[in-house]
Structure 1
Amino acid sequence: MFSTDRSFPDGLCALVTGGSRGLGLLTGARLAARGCRVTLLARDADELDRATAWIHDRTGRNVRTVVCDVRDEAAVTSAVRDTAEVADGLDVVIANAGIIQVAPAEVGGTAAFRDAMATIFEGTLHTSLAALPLLRRSPAGGRLGLVGSVGALLAVPHLVPYSCAKAAVRALGEGLQEETAGSAVSVTTVHPGLMRTGSHLQAEFGGRADAEFAWFSALAGTPLVSMDAERAAEKIVRAVERRRTRVVLTPAAHAASLAHGVAPALVTRVSGLAARALPTAPEADPAGAGTMKQGHFLGDLSQPRWRQALRRAGSSLNDRAAQRYNQQRPGPPTSA
């Protein structure tokens, strides 16, 4: 199931944030299968316990876990340093923690932007700055991987806070790669497109939440549009392993990135047309402003029938992914 490619030297110390489920869980498993001593960071202790058992069952290897909120700079710095002390060094770090909020920008309001920036960008920043001094001392040459998104390359309607935060991660990755050029440290920024990780159950939905959940879960689970999460995790680990600077995953993400680079105004207009098909923002309701619902509580759509049909048509693979990759229970989102 997992690659045992040993182009990584055996016994490297690796740390993955947002490692309790989804893409982070799969990335940690692939590092463990390559012989790395892996530490997973996430907010939920129960999820981390399940993640430990999940990886052991599939790789035969044990991983270390630390309960840590990446929004807390002091906690991240402590977790990174403790990991290096336990393992006598730090060689590989994958900054993956994040949240997904699906709603018109005006519905989530400034709170949604603050939450996205705090978890996605600041969490990545805290991890990177804490890890870099230790990665510089790695005998194997440190490797830092930042998980961005196609949303970092062009804005995605109804995912604007997410896009803004991922765009900041893209800039951080490019800047750190430039500043570490010529050193033994490499910085790899990976921009996946849609992946079948089961993250629709952990995502937060606002406005007409049922309708937002229907289109997002269907699109994220549709073959050809979305990517198998296990393939995505393998490509991320290989990119970090080979010290690539930037990687864009999925043909759709490649095409969108290229089109936006060549004709950004045209792509923005086309995205605007697509946005017209998305649920409209409800009338302003001060009492409910900024209210978001987690996908776990929207999975059983009882009305109307077209929403049920839309969701079932595209999301069955994503629902199965949620069961496989530890996304099945409610909890604070920590990995996308």
Structure 2
Amino acid sequence: MPRSSHDGLTGRAALVTGSSRGLGLLIARELTRRGCRVMLCARDDDELARAERMLREEGADVRSLACDITDEQAPGRLVEATEAAFGSLDVLVNNAGEIQVGPLSAMAEADFRSAMETMYFAPLRLVMAALPAMRARGEGRIVTISSLGGRVAAPHLLPYAGAKFAAAGLSEGLRAELAADGISVTTVLPGLMRTGSHTAARFSGQPGREYAWFAAAAGLPVLSMDAERAARAVVTAAERRRPEAVLSPVAKAAVRFHGVAPATTARLLALGARLLPGGGTAPEHDVPGRVAARRIDSAVLNRLTRLNDRAAHRFNQQPG
């Protein structure tokens, strides 16, 4: 029989993608604090080893498997590894993502395809791999980490926003289809968070200028949310089987405003796009945030990003 929507997470087995750093790492940690056993996965072996060591030092029961989730064989391997380690897969958190920042003129079709593979098709394949066992038990939880950008498309983030819109639509449709099987699906729409992701994002057009606005916005306390608080909210939403969780007051206000005044929202976004950097005379492509950061020598920007820079170190975003 399906379990009550108020059942806790103690003793459950979870798989969290993109869990070597940032929000994924914090979600994995919060799950273990609520009694879950967790399989970590990410592409970078060294990052993953550090993440596993960090959680084990806190007494967490975790395992890890390094893989690229865009590999079509990866979802099956991850589900099998989780079931082999823990006996089942009860909670699937599709968190892995990539952030590409820059004007449309500096983007290529490959950027959009990469975003869709990472944030739409890979989660879809993971859900399809996990569903048979969940259906057989009549119980399970699926969590999709979409974004405010999956409800309100911000300029200079189009590959990311397009993939997150698709992920949110898939997640909402899955909830409707899987409810009869006892499987809950939660769509999470975070706003800006202080995870240190500005160091891992990739920048095109004028990378230094793109990095400056993105890093500043992502680190401001009023605009951005503490990442540990965000992780607690995500896990609570999964635990209570909520259909949707919009994280941060700014994100909630943006979603509501877009819902009641879409035309005004579009005009404001168009104005914002005009204020952002152009492609430049010699646009660059796909420059890592750590590289773009070194091109900026600004004491003001350093002060604006201080909280997020600290988060990058705390949440395994920086190379060891």
Structure 1 residues 9 and 189: CA distance shift in structure 2, 3 A: closer
Give the conservation status (yes or no) of the 8 Å contact 1:296–1:329: no
User: 2:296 and 2:37 mapped to 1: Cα distance?
Assistant: 46
User: 1:329 and 1:137 mapped to 2: Cα distance?
Assistant: 42
CA shift, 1:138, in A, is 4.0
CA shift, 1:309, in A, is 4.2
Matched, 1:318 2:308: yes
User: 1:82 and 1:198 mapped to 2: Cα distance?
Assistant: 29
User: 1:50 and 1:9 mapped to 2: Cα distance?
Assistant: 25
Give the partner amino acid of 1:301: R
User: 2:304 and 2:243 mapped to 1: Cα distance?
Assistant: 33
Matched, 1:52 2:42: no
User: 1:9 and 1:94 mapped to 2: Cα distance?
Assistant: 13
User: 1:11 and 1:47 mapped to 2: Cα distance?
Assistant: 26
* Unpaired segments ≥5 residues, structure 2: 1-5
CA shift, 1:123, in A, is 1.8
Give the conservation status (yes or no) of the 8 Å contact 1:146–1:173: yes
User: 1:7 and 1:178 mapped to 2: Cα distance?
Assistant: 20
Most deviating of 13-22 and 68-77 = 68-77
User: 1:149 and 1:302 mapped to 2: Cα distance?
Assistant: 28
User: 2:46 and 2:215 mapped to 1: Cα distance?
Assistant: 25
1:12-63: CA deviation from partner (whole Å, max 9, x where unpaired): 1110000100000000011111111110111111111000111123x31231
CA shift, 1:206, in A, is 0.6
User: 2:53 and 2:263 mapped to 1: Cα distance?
Assistant: 48
**TM-score normalised to the size of structure 2?**
0.94
Most deviating of 311-320 and 78-87 = 78-87
Give the conservation status (yes or no) of the 8 Å contact 1:99–1:119: yes
CA shift, 1:7, in A, is 5.5
1:230-284: CA deviation from partner (whole Å, max 9, x where unpaired): 0000000000010000111111111111111111111011111111111111136
Counterpart position of 2:3 = none
Counterpart position of 1:42 = 42
Matched, 1:161 2:159: yes
The share of aligned pairs that are identical, in percent, is 47
Structure 1 residues 302 and 155: CA distance shift in structure 2, 3 A: closer
- Three-state SS of the structure 1 residue aligned to 2:245 is strand
User: 1:234 and 1:129 mapped to 2: Cα distance?
Assistant: 26
Give the partner amino acid of 1:294: P
Counterpart position of 1:70 = 69
CA shift, 1:182, in A, is 2.4
Q: What is the alpha-carbon root mean square deviation over aligned residues?
A: 1.6
Counterpart position of 1:3 = none
Counterpart position of 2:94 = 95
1:147-193: CA deviation from partner (whole Å, max 9, x where unpaired): 00000001111001100000000000001001012221100010000
- Three-state SS of the structure 2 residue aligned to 1:206 is strand
Matched, 1:19 2:19: yes
User: 1:7 and 1:234 mapped to 2: Cα distance?
Assistant: 17
- Aligned runs of 1:51-200 on 2, under 5 Å? 51-57=51-57, 59-138=58-137, 141-200=139-198
Give the conservation status (yes or no) of the 8 Å contact 2:9–2:239: no
Give the conservation status (yes or no) of the 8 Å contact 1:201–1:296: yes
Structure 1 residues 10 and 103: CA distance shift in structure 2, 3 A: same
1:273-332: CA deviation from partner (whole Å, max 9, x where unpaired): 1111111111366xx5xx2110111222345xxxx24522321000000000000029xx
User: 2:253 and 2:60 mapped to 1: Cα distance?
Assistant: 38
Structure 1 residues 85 and 174: CA distance shift in structure 2, 3 A: same
Counterpart position of 1:260 = 258
Give the partner amino acid of 2:114: D
Counterpart position of 2:318 = 328
User: 2:25 and 2:137 mapped to 1: Cα distance?
Assistant: 24
Give the conservation status (yes or no) of the 8 Å contact 1:84–1:134: no
1:67-99: CA deviation from partner (whole Å, max 9, x where unpaired): 111111212212112211332111111000000
